[in-house]
Amino acid sequence: MHEIDQLLLSNRAWAAEMLAENPEFFNRNVNLQRPVFLWIGCSDSRVAPDQMTQAVPGGLFVHRNIANLVYPDDRNLMAVLHYAINVLEVNHVVICGHYGCGGIQAALDGAPEGPIAHWLEHARQVLNDHRGEIEALPQGDEQVNRLVEVNVRDQLLHLARTGPVQDAFAAGKPLQLHGWVYDLRDGHIKPLMRIDRETILNEVPKPERVLL
């Protein structure tokens, strides 16, 4: 059986299982969605937010890109962020990186020319901003995984300075931003930091190293 046919067969089996457990499973999601979280994560195929959190359909509003980067001029992400905060009224936005990230590895090694190299400009800037700390570590996984952690921190600060988030903070909305890292080795999500409307952004420290 071809892989594409297996996907469709698996989908039908999953739908049948959901209906057997709850005949109203799909009806309840037809007319509206009420997610509590906006999840901004990496496109890596090993990092599936719905699976790792056991979120039900409608529980997570999701945006994914290589290395979970936040560009204020990324119209796709800004549209998702605006809709999540102002229409869906989510109270939590998560940026979740993951150890062993190929995008971060490419930023560290120097990605070849092309669309990926252009996309990773923000990640290379993170490396430049933290180069002393990163290069003081042994080459290999330790450098990559620490860069993953500080990248989450720096992207969370980019997120906190976007228009939709600043407007929500100014309006007194109970919006919280969370920086997490997913560990491929054990399946655990490891919180790094949190930002809310009381946080002084210029004083946000680097996170403690989680993966030692």
Could you give the residue numbers annotated as active site?
42, 44, 46, 98, 101
**What are the strands, taking DSSP E only, across the chain?**
37-42, 60-65, 92-98, 176-182, 189-195
Cα angle at 178 between 143 and 37, to 5 degrees? Answer: 130
Q: At what angle do helices 141-160 and 163-170 cross, to 10 degrees?
A: 60
Nearest alpha carbon to residue 137 among 151, 152, 127: 127
Sheet holding 189-195, edge to edge: 60-65, 37-42, 92-98, 176-182, 189-195
| Residue 65 token pair | 């890109």
